[in-house]
Structure 1
Amino acid sequence: MNLSSSSSFELCVKDLSILTNTNLKDTNQKKKYIINDINFSIKPGSIVAIMGASGCGKTTLLHSLAGINLNLQKEGEIEINGTELSKFKQKSLISYLRQDIIMIPYLTVRETLLFAAKLRLNSNIPAAKKLEIVEETILELGLSSCANSFIGNEWRSGISGGEKRRVALAIQLLQNPSILFCDEPTTGLDSFTSLALIQTLVALAKKGKTICISIHQPSSTIFELFDEILLLSKGEQIFFGTPDQSVKHFTNLNISFPSEANPADWLLDISTDNIQEENLIDRNLNFSKIWKNEGLKINSTSEIDEDNDSTLLNGEGLLENYFAFDGILKDNFLANKAEKTNLTIEEEENYSKNNNRASLIYQISTLTGRSVKIMFRDPLMFFGSVFEVIFFSVCVGLIFFQMPEDLAGIYSRKSILYLISSLQPYLFLIYMIYKLSEEIKVFDREREDNMYTVLAYFVSSFIANFPLQLLTCLLYSLILYFMTGLRFEGDLMQKIWNLGVFTAVNGALQLISTSFAYFTIAIFRDFTTASLFANFFYTFFALSSGFFVPYQIMPFFLSWIKDVSQVSFAYRILMSNEFENRIFECPGLLPEGSTQTIPQCIGNTSILQNGFNLNENFKNFIGLLGNFIFFTITTELKDVTIKIEKKGFTKTILDNVSVSFPAGKLSVILGPSGAGKSTLLKVLTNQPLNIPNLSKLTKTGETYFNDEIINDLSSVCSYVCQDDSHLIPSLTARETLRFAAFLRLPKNLTKEEKILRAEEILSLLDLNDCANVRVGSDIVKGLSGGEKRRLSIGIQMINDPLILVIDEPTSGLDSSTAKNLMMQLKVIAETGRTVICSIHQPRPDVFHHFDKVLLLSYGRVLFSGSNLNSYLHGIGFSIPSDNNTADYALSLSIIDHRNEESTLIFQKLVSKWKELGVHFEKALVPDSITNIEQEKNSNESHRKLQQQPKQLNSLIERIKLQQQKINFFNVLSILIKRSWINLKRQKNLFFARVFQIAVLGHCVVLLTFFQKLQFGQPFIQSRIGLLQHLSCGVIAGMVNCIISFPQLLNSFKFERTEKVYTSTAFLLSYSFIEIPFEILASLALNSVAFFYIGLRFSPLNFLLATISIFCSYNAGESIGIACFAIFGHVGFSIQVTSAFLSISTMLTGFLSVDNSLLLFDKISYLTPIRYVARILAINEFTDLEFTCTKREIAESTCFFNNGNVILELYKMDNLWFNFWVLILVTFLYRLIAFVVLTLKK
């Protein structure tokens, strides 16, 4: 990639310290430093590497250097060309590649880079040149083979983790920054790709850029490429200087440098020194003090020898040397290099003008095109939106099908107009909040990079989604209008006008919901808090409509809400559109031929009855638009082949793989990104394979364990995946391991022995220093990436499995920790266990300890045996003296699409292994696990774990012996305790669950809107509104499920694959945490309804109402559990559950007075809402007397004198039948959730 040098900047750090936020009032509180007293400078044209163990402060330092606010206290100065960073004006010249990767999963690699190029690169660069730059970048970073593959996520199969990191780096390089910060850019990359990537950064640095990276495990070749090294230990600076000076500095301290050692690994060993752990802090402080005394001398005498190697200055000589082992490869590289330097002077000048960003119109058009692609490529979200609208409108249309012009039809018209004004916009609001909570992560990351303006994002999102919203609005409006028989009378223009007003109101409500969603997400950023906030305020808006609480009895201090509420404006417009100046026939109320008109049948009377004024449509439309403006074991594989077929295209993931992994040995799978390593490990452990939607998976071959085919390996085999999302964010590292020990270890161990085992794992994986630190999440900072990785491995090591399979165990770890971890895995293997792991970039002194190496590339076996060096030499590939076996083998296994010679080398490796491989496999005859099992540790817990009979006939008997699970009730108590800690520590989830139901969601609203109930005619409508509100607790239950359940579901799915516990235990533990909140909410809500608002009280009434509302909440959570388990996709699950529950709220019997279609009347028997509404109504209205004023009698508006008449109108009777059926339905809903959770894998 040939990007010209831009403006040069020097970065200078003076006495920089970062502290955790402390209590300012406590003067005696000791300051806690994350990094302390850091001093260094980076000159233009140089690349500096920040090195140190996990948790030493590398990421925090990079965040500070990049100007990212961490809400931490800062001392000292960061200057760019002498200007304080906070005052530096050209922030667009700074790029930062974060450790966590956030990209759009539904775009291909090429599309991702092309959209980034359009938005990042200078607007003067032609489109063709931008495309050329993208293709060069793809070629340089080895992304050609996956250029047309989707980025992917947990729901859509995509590229590998290493490929994602290369794409993320490519995006940053497109911007041609002057200052580039990279946090662990080589994490997840193989050695060949890592070297090529660092060489690219070096080449960029030599063109005037200032580059600073953090790195864990640089190879010796990569280490030599750095101009300077900043070495940290426990947040303290212990060295800064050139790589050569670093070795000299520490050897002068009488620390010997081993021969043939990697200097980077040696430095990290010095900074961590795990052998003398108890003296670690003192030693590091000594190194820090020594550096403060000696560092100035070193830096004052350091000079870069620019004449030493002229090729190093352009960053390309080392890359040429890397290919020196083959003349053809080198010639091909030089040819490519010559082609890429052929740029005109004008083009070079264009590249350097970074400030000339794309115009607003270009940003909008580009973002719109991208949004449209994303929308169509996420079928669950796209078709889910259309399906939800059609399903909802058809169901509502059937419930209110062709409403008659009698009194029942008039009441039904009022109900459906309210539902149209409030319910569908609410569902759309919740859906949009979730959708935006996912999109905002990409927006925040791209906004940090100054890719586009907020206005461009907002406008493009509106344009891209408008056609879909218009389509759904038209479908919704037309289906509802004609199915329900709303006003369609008069001449053609009048009919068009009425239908147009109805459609316009629906469209405006949809836009307002979208704007409200943007408003809440802009404030809170996460779905949990934003949905809580939106739900609370939307409830106020909905109750101010005048439907449940007529305006004439609405509390005076709330009357202003109706003048700002979109629901109120919409309801008034729709009421006027339907009722104004209309007289209904009301058949059967008057003798045939009578010319009298009953007041109840006059449309204007219905409008005035709610406290509305006539002829205010224009005012209401203006108010509606105003809302929109405001809310903007010995294991063997035989002939295993895996293929994925989609649309006639076949992709081979594994191609006829035959390999054995002996017990008592440490076996590693070596290969570049995308080689099929993760797939092979999943096949070994019977893990489910992720395949794209609408694809067919074909698998042939068998997996044998001690010559037996065994399907259930959960008790003897542990699998550690690359993803750490299963970790519960609110637990500490120590708690995580202890809970894992309680759940996984056999019942013959005592609690103390299990705790001891967890502590052993903490020490084994060097997690003692962070043992009491919470795991953390995207929102709350916790463990570092490397610490999370070790914790995931620790969970699987708890039960000392016979077979331990780890996918990339050293990913994200510094080289010292990686070495210690691999050595521990070696020790575990020597106890008779089968240890298999995939690995990208092993350090040379670790590679020699591998007992067996499987070299895999593009799904094919290139080597499987113990002596890779001899094998390569035997087939004509001699390892250069300046290279190591692992790196050299990886370089041979990669097909470099920039030249044909690499393809020929790959084909030679494949053919040679087919010819010679059988001889190498025979040399490694798998030993029986039984014969080589050993005692390793003397402590009691480890002794009991390893204690096995001396003679076993088969592995199956061993499996049966290991399957000594702890009893169900112990598992349940452990899960309950873990869930409670998780909920209690996540304040947003805890308060969301409490306030959503008990306070904000219901109690505060009821206290605010519903005054003391009296016995006049207006209070009949208030009672019905209150009972309808109390009956619909299923929606609140579903929202609470959205907030808390998906996170727990991830942990459950992970632990279920390990058969740690059953779905019964999981669901019961969830219910034990859920049910107390539901009971408290029901009691609080009924206390308000009975003792403040004034529902008719008796102990029996209060008890029945409390149980009924509890059942409603519980059923809502059951529905949410079932949908999340079925679909997995949170957004789609929200749409499905929202549509289902919204339809069910119409089946209470209060809204649809006389349902003409028996279908939905029958369906209503399956919903808890029907029974809750009837129980509450019978309790309240039975024998209740109402009064009428003289004016109401004179105007014939005294409709009801007795509550029994109301019950007869709504056809509600038989209290105890409804109560017992409600109990049964609630139980059935939870049973359905259990069945779905159990069956869905």
Structure 2
Amino acid sequence: MQFTDVTYKVVLKGMTSSGKKDILNGISGSVNPGEVLAMMGPSGSGKTTLLKLLGGRLNHHPTNGGSITYNDKIYSKFLKSRIGFVTQDDVLFTHLTVKETLTYTARLRLPKTLTKEQKEKRALDVIYELGLERCQNTMIGDSFVPGLSGGERKRVCIGNEIIINPSILFLDEPTSGLDSTTALKIVQMLQDMAKAGKTVVTTIHQPSSRLFHKFDKLILLGKGSSLYFGKASESMNYFQSIGCSPLISMNPAEFLLDLANGNINDVSVPSELKDKVQTGNEASAVVHEYLVEAFESRLAETEKKKIIVSVPQDEALKIKVCSSPKRQWGASWDEQFSILFCRGIKERKHDYFSWLRITQVLSTAIILGSLWWQSDAENPKDLQDQAGLLFFITVFWGLIPVFTAIFTFPQERAMLNKERAADMYRLSAYFLARTTSDLPLDLILSVLFLLVVYFMAGLRLSAASFFLTILTVFLCIIAAQGLGLAIGAVLMDSKSATTLGSVTVMIFMLAGGFFVQKVPIFISWIRYMSFNYHTYKLLLKVQYEHLTPIVNGIKIDSGLTEVAALIAMVFGYRFLAYLSLRRMKLQ
């Protein structure tokens, strides 16, 4: 991989007249198979931006210049299948095991030409290659769920990328948050991968001296500019040649980062530089300017000559993104849906069937059954009481799905971004699998609830009424889910979505007509948009159509309008959620 004069700018409000801020200023370098290239620099120096640009994870814009080539070819969607990219954060599903995580990745990312058995074997090979065989059946876990150690989680993340046997592997601070011994194991593993013929590019914040000496090449960045590029082993000699050397025994990485930060304590510097700093100028700016000028005059041209860029000159002027005529999906649409559906059920069954959720459903059912114990609908007073029970059931199974679904896309945004950036699946396959994998779990919980309440409360004893009640409640659940999905997808912020969801459900509930029968005209129209209202009318029809035509001022009719309205909500809200996800900038 070769890159020359790479620049990157972002548009920020309140900036200068140009409205742009320089993030990268003409960065050049190259890395070959068998080499590990490390990018170092202070926070905000641009190393992660450079890594994302090189890995094709940033949207390229005409204002960004330079040339990036891979085996003399510019970036394309086809090349994406040969590139692995490990993000800084460990984005993994908490309740899947190591083996399940890597197997699902293999089935989605490996070529269609391989059979399911061959893909699963590749997942096992990666497990053994990364030394994860002892924990392959352990859940990933998180801060609340016991699982893997930090080093094991990082190896799983790396495994997710090397499972496709990429030619080039990018890693964003793979040792962040790990102890020195574990970090050394990770870097040793990367070095072994490079020796096997891969190209490895990684950002690293502050490596130990043992880690530093394992890198083949080094780019040192400061405020978006190159301060050094070349062999890592020769970096100290270069800085000594420009008059900068440590006064005490020091980790080379620590020394380089001190210089990049403009900190010259315990550092010997040329007298002219020391004089400038002592005259009251800002030390960091003066040191930065000196290092940039030194690199440009002594090293930059020499290193650029080593980088042979064979793309045509007119194409090398700007960073290009070519679209392959056809994306290389690892599985067909129906296979993607099937894999994601199964993965979704395995991941979420732990939350759905946790003791807390089951206790919530059963305890509510028992309390309701006790309060309305064997009520008799033949008695007008009991009928009014039973209508109250039906309204509570409507509200209960409207609230839970809304506030469960609201968090779906905000919580999975990082995972969706990561997997879509790697072209693991189509958005439509993910969306349909994600919005249907909850349905079997919701159905089980609602049936469990109604089995308790229905017979304890003495509701209409007929098979048709019982199953119609289940279907009505289930229709309410999936309509309410759709609303939660839409709110979450539109806002993509859990707090804002929860607030909007609370207000919306409250308005729907009040406009339903149970609390106030004569709802003002300027509000009453809202009831027709409320799943609570339509569900309540259907439940009244199922229970009392043989007894009375009107209950609590609500006329019992054929129910077709209510069913049609709920079905429209089921699909309408989900369509809105899908469009909102489409508008998200997913690489």
Superposition TM-score tier, normalisation by shorter sequence: 0.7 to 0.9
> Does the 8 Å contact 1:198/1:222 carry over to 2?
no
Q: 1:295 to 1:463 in 2, by over 3 A?
A: same
Tell me which of 459, 480, 498 is aligned to 1:531.
498
Indicate the residue corresponding to 1:241 in structure 2: 230
- Where relative contact order (Cα < 8 A, 6+ residues apart) is larger, the structure is 2
* 2:477 corresponds to 1:486: no
Alpha-carbon distance between aligned partners in 2 of 1:448 and 1:521, rounded to the nearest angstrom: 21
Q: 1:77 to 1:571 in 2, by over 3 A?
A: farther
Tell me which of 559, 563, 567 is aligned to 2:532.
567
Alpha-carbon distance between aligned partners in 1 of 2:215 and 2:91, rounded to the nearest angstrom: 27
* 2:181 corresponds to 1:193: no
Q: Alpha-carbon deviation of 1:183?
A: 0.7
- Note the 1:718-757 alignment, pairs <5 A: none
Q: Alpha-carbon deviation of 1:503?
A: 1.4
Indicate the residue corresponding to 2:284 in structure 1: 280
Q: Structure 2: which amino acid aligns with 1:119? A: L
Indicate the residue corresponding to 1:453 in structure 2: 426
Alpha-carbon distance between aligned partners in 2 of 1:294 and 1:243, rounded to the nearest angstrom: 17
Indicate the residue corresponding to 2:143 in structure 1: 154
Indicate the residue corresponding to 2:510 in structure 1: 543
* 2:413 corresponds to 1:409: no
Alpha-carbon distance between aligned partners in 1 of 2:194 and 2:401, rounded to the nearest angstrom: 50
Tell me which of 386, 394, 400 is aligned to 1:421.
394
> Does the 8 Å contact 1:569/1:621 carry over to 2?
yes
Q: Structure 2: which amino acid aligns with 1:518? A: L
Q: Alpha-carbon deviation of 1:58?
A: 2.0
Tell me which of 542, 554, 565 is aligned to 1:577.
542
- Note the 1:1063-1212 alignment, pairs <5 A: none
Indicate the residue corresponding to 1:203 in structure 2: 195
Indicate the residue corresponding to 1:23 in structure 2: 14
Classify the secondary structure of the residue corresponding to 1:231. strand
Q: What is the TM-score with the length of structure 2 in the denominator?
A: 0.80
* 2:71 corresponds to 1:76: no
Indicate the residue corresponding to 2:482 in structure 1: 515
Q: Structure 1: which amino acid aligns with 2:90? A: I
* 2:157 corresponds to 1:168: yes
Q: Alpha-carbon deviation of 1:21?
A: 1.7
> Does the 8 Å contact 1:65/1:78 carry over to 2?
no
Describe the superposition over 1:1079-1121 as per-residue Cα deviations: whole angstroms up to 9, x where unpaired: xxxxxxxxxxxxxxxxxxxxxxxxxxxxxxxxxxxxxxxxxxx
Indicate the residue corresponding to 2:102 in structure 1: 113
Indicate the residue corresponding to 2:3 in structure 1: 12
Q: 1:71 to 1:450 in 2, by over 3 A?
A: closer
Q: Alpha-carbon deviation of 1:100?
A: 1.3
Aligned residue pairs, count? 536
Q: Structure 1: which amino acid aligns with 2:158? A: L
Q: Alpha-carbon deviation of 1:262?
A: 6.1
Describe the superposition over 1:1110-1150 as per-residue Cα deviations: whole angstroms up to 9, x where unpaired: xxxxxxxxxxxxxxxxxxxxxxxxxxxxxxxxxxxxxxxxx
Alpha-carbon distance between aligned partners in 1 of 2:304 and 2:49, rounded to the nearest angstrom: 27
Q: Structure 2: which amino acid aligns with 1:360? A: W
Indicate the residue corresponding to 2:473 in structure 1: 506
Alpha-carbon distance between aligned partners in 1 of 2:385 and 2:80, rounded to the nearest angstrom: 60
Alpha-carbon distance between aligned partners in 2 of 1:44 and 1:458, rounded to the nearest angstrom: 39
Describe the superposition over 1:912-956 as per-residue Cα deviations: whole angstroms up to 9, x where unpaired: xxxxxxxxxxxxxxxxxxxxxxxxxxxxxxxxxxxxxxxxxxxxx
Q: Structure 2: which amino acid aligns with 1:284? A: H
Percentage identity across aligned positions?
26
Q: Structure 1: which amino acid aligns with 2:545? A: E
Q: 1:384 to 1:450 in 2, by over 3 A?
A: farther
- Note the 1:1022-1037 alignment, pairs <5 A: none
CA RMSD after TM alignment:
3.5
Indicate the residue corresponding to 1:123 in structure 2: 112
Q: 1:225 to 1:153 in 2, by over 3 A?
A: closer
Q: Structure 2: which amino acid aligns with 1:386? A: I
Q: Alpha-carbon deviation of 1:266?
A: 4.4
Classify the secondary structure of the residue corresponding to 1:631. helix
Q: 1:458 to 1:383 in 2, by over 3 A?
A: farther
Q: Alpha-carbon deviation of 1:168?
A: 1.0
> Does the 8 Å contact 1:20/1:73 carry over to 2?
no
Q: Alpha-carbon deviation of 1:121?
A: 1.5
Structure 1, unmatched stretches of 5+, are 1-9, 305-352, 489-494, 583-602, 633-1241
* 2:448 corresponds to 1:475: yes
Q: Structure 2: which amino acid aligns with 1:387? A: T
Q: Structure 1: which amino acid aligns with 2:336? A: Q
Alpha-carbon distance between aligned partners in 1 of 2:91 and 2:459, rounded to the nearest angstrom: 48
> Does the 8 Å contact 1:93/1:354 carry over to 2?
no
> Does the 8 Å contact 2:375/2:458 carry over to 1?
yes
Indicate the residue corresponding to 2:332 in structure 1: 359
Describe the superposition over 1:339-363 as per-residue Cα deviations: whole angstroms up to 9, x where unpaired: xxxxxxxxxxxxxx99241123332
Indicate the residue corresponding to 2:121 in structure 1: 132
Q: Alpha-carbon deviation of 1:526?
A: 3.4
> Does the 8 Å contact 1:230/1:241 carry over to 2?
yes
> Does the 8 Å contact 2:29/2:229 carry over to 1?
no
Alpha-carbon distance between aligned partners in 2 of 1:175 and 1:407, rounded to the nearest angstrom: 69
Alpha-carbon distance between aligned partners in 2 of 1:269 and 1:441, rounded to the nearest angstrom: 33
Describe the superposition over 1:339-394 as per-residue Cα deviations: whole angstroms up to 9, x where unpaired: xxxxxxxxxxxxxx992411233323333333343345x36853333332222122
Indicate the residue corresponding to 1:102 in structure 2: 91
Alpha-carbon distance between aligned partners in 1 of 2:300 and 2:405, rounded to the nearest angstrom: 57
Alpha-carbon distance between aligned partners in 2 of 1:110 and 1:83, rounded to the nearest angstrom: 35
* 2:351 corresponds to 1:385: no
Q: 1:564 to 1:96 in 2, by over 3 A?
A: same
Indicate the residue corresponding to 1:466 in structure 2: 439
> Does the 8 Å contact 2:3/2:29 carry over to 1?
yes
Describe the superposition over 1:192-233 as per-residue Cα deviations: whole angstroms up to 9, x where unpaired: 5134222134236x35x5x42112345667656645321112
- Note the 1:1028-1047 alignment, pairs <5 A: none
Indicate the residue corresponding to 2:130 in structure 1: 141
Structure 2, unmatched stretches of 5+, are 266-276, 309-325, 575-587
Q: Structure 1: which amino acid aligns with 2:564? A: I
Q: 1:287 to 1:381 in 2, by over 3 A?
A: farther
Q: 1:297 to 1:41 in 2, by over 3 A?
A: closer
Q: 1:296 to 1:233 in 2, by over 3 A?
A: closer
Alpha-carbon distance between aligned partners in 2 of 1:258 and 1:546, rounded to the nearest angstrom: 81
Alpha-carbon distance between aligned partners in 1 of 2:4 and 2:520, rounded to the nearest angstrom: 61
Classify the secondary structure of the residue corresponding to 1:443. helix
Q: Structure 1: which amino acid aligns with 2:88? A: Q
Larger Rg: 1
Indicate the residue corresponding to 2:581 in structure 1: none
Indicate the residue corresponding to 1:216 in structure 2: 205
